Structure 1
C-alpha cells in the first residue's frame, strides 16, 4: 500500500540535492555569469553558506562556468544548470560536472532525461496538474514559477495536496525581506535570481547579497516559531 496518497509514485529524492537543501534551502541563480568570473562567485556563495548553485544555459559559455564552479567548491555543494529547455542538453550538463537540472517549465522529456542520467531535477510548475506530472516523472523539487504571480495563497493551496516531503520552492521576485509569508504558507526554500546576482557585479557584492539572504531566511524561520 502507498505510504502517502498525495504522491503519484514512490518519492526518492536525489540524495546529494536533499543534503544540500537541508543545509541551505536557497538556490543561487547566476544568470549571465561568465567562465572567467564563475569560480569567484561560486566560492563567495559557498563561503556565505549556499550549497546549491545553478548557471542558466542562456548565460555566456554556461558549460564552462558550470565546470569552473564545480572545481571551485567542495563536493557537498550541488552545481547545475538552469533554463534547460531540451533533453539533449542534459548530457552536456553532466559532462561539465553538473548534478542538477532546473527548468522554467515541466517538459516530461527533460525531467526523464535528467533522471536517466542520474541528475537531480527541479522543473518549473505553475499548476497542480504540472506539479503532479513532474513528480510522476521523478522530479526532486517543485520550482513554483513565477512566484510573483502565484503568490502565497497558491503555495498554501498546493501544500494541502502535495506531500509534505516534497519541497516547494518559489522562484521569482524573492528578496531577503519577503520570505516569511511564503514559508508560513508552506514553502520550503527559494530560488534567487537578480536580487542575488546581476551580471558584472563583483564577487564581494555577491557575498554581501548572499549573507543578506541567509540572514533573511533565518529571521523568517524564527518568526514562524513565535
Structure 2
C-alpha cells in the first residue's frame, strides 16, 4: 500500500471539494481539520482548483490530492502543486503511469471487473468505485472483491451520512468519498463554521459506529 493511501485509510472520509475561489482554500483546509477531517480531494473542475490545491497542500496535517484528473499533463501540474494522490473518474493507462512515475498514489475510477483487473495489472491495490450509487453500491463492490480480494475500493457518487458507515463496514472499502460536508455554496460563501460543523458530525458518526462495533 502506498503511504498516502495508508493515510486515506486512516482518515476513512475523503471530502470532494469543488471550489470557485482559491482565496477560500486555506480557511477551508483549517475548517476541515478543526472538524476532524484529515484528507481532501480538490477537483480540477474549476479554474481555481489547482491554485486551491496548492494552498491547501501547505496546511500541516491535511493530506491533499487532485480530483477529476483526466490527462498526464494535469497529473504533472497537480504533482507540482503539492498533490499527494490523483483521483480520476475512470481508468486511463497514461494518467496512472504518470501518477506512479511521480511517486503519487493513483486512485483511478473503475466500474467493471475488466477495469479492476487492469488496475491490478498496473500494480494498484486501491481504486475509486464510481459512480457508486448507479453501479449497485456496496453489493457490487463486494461482488467484485470476491474474485479480486487484493483490491480495495473507495466508493464515490451518492455517498453521504446515510450510507457512509454501511460502506466502511466492509473490508473491501478503505475509505469513502463524498461532498456532503463541503457544500460548494458554503465554500463560496466562506461559511467555514458550517463546514467545520458538518465535518465534525461526519467524524462523530464514524466514532459512534466504531463504539457500537459497526466499524
Normalised TM-score (structure 1): 0.84
Q: Does 1:65 align with 2:57?
A: no
Q: Distance in 2 between matches of 1:221 and 1:182?
A: 13
1:64-113 per-position Cα deviation (integer Å, ceiling 9, x unaligned): 10111012x21x43211100001111110011111111000011110111
Q: Is the 8 A contact 1:34 1:59 kept in 2?
A: no
Task: Tell whether 2:27 aligns with 1:40.
Answer: yes
Q: Does 1:154 align with 2:140?
A: yes
Counterpart position of 1:93: 78
2:175 matched residue in structure 1: 189
Compute the displacement of 1:159 (Å): 2.4
The CA deviation at 1:145 is 0.7
Structure 2 residue corresponding to 1:209, chosen from 189, 198, 204: 198
Q: Normalization by structure 2: what TM-score?
A: 0.88
Distance 2:132 2:211 in 1: 22
Query: CA separation of 1:60/1:203 partners in 2, compared to 1, >3 Å: closer, same or farther?
Result: farther
- Inter-partner Cα distance in structure 1 for 2:160 and 2:15: 12
Which of 3, 14, 29 is matched with 2:2 structurally? 14
Once the two structures are superposed, what CA deviation does each residue of 1:111-137 show, in whole Å capped at 9, x if it has no partner? 111001111111111111111212322
- Determine the structure 2 residue equivalent to 1:7: none
Runs of 4+ in 1 over 6 A off after TM superposition: none
Runs of 5+ consecutive residues of structure 1 not aligned to the other structure: 1-12
Check 1:133–1:50 CA distance in 2 against 1; reply closer, same or farther (3 A cut): same
**Distance (Å, rounded) in 2 between the aligned partners of 1:53 and 1:225:** 24
